[in-house]
Amino acid sequence: MEPGTGLDKYRLREIEQQLAAELQGASEHLRRVSADEKCQALASHLRALQRFTDFAARGIVPEEFFPVAE
């Protein structure tokens, strides 16, 4: 979702915390995996880093943080 979506600052802070936790978890996982699993763990880490960077730098909120309209 693009910047200026009308989310309040409290919801944006929650999203930031969830994305930061996702990134931290991916970083920890990357450090613990064996050499065989390193490639997949690195891809997961890079995806989490990109999501966090998009949110923090550009204000782009991932789609799953919006309620589904019926």
Residue 2 lies in a domain: no
Residue 35 lies in a domain: yes
Q: How many domains does the chain fold into?
A: 1
Residue 64 lies in a domain: no
Report residue 2 as tokens: 């693009």
Residue 4 lies in a domain: no
Average pLDDT over residues 46-62: 95
Taking Cα atoms as reference points, which of 16, 9, 8 lies closest to residue 61?
Answer: 16
- Range of 36's domain? 9-58
SS3 45: helix
Residue 22 lies in a domain: yes
Residue with the larger pLDDT of the pair 56 and 65: 56
Tell me, yes or no, if the pTM score tops 0.85: no
Residue 41 lies in a domain: yes
* DSSP H or E run through 58: helix 38-58
Residue 1 lies in a domain: no
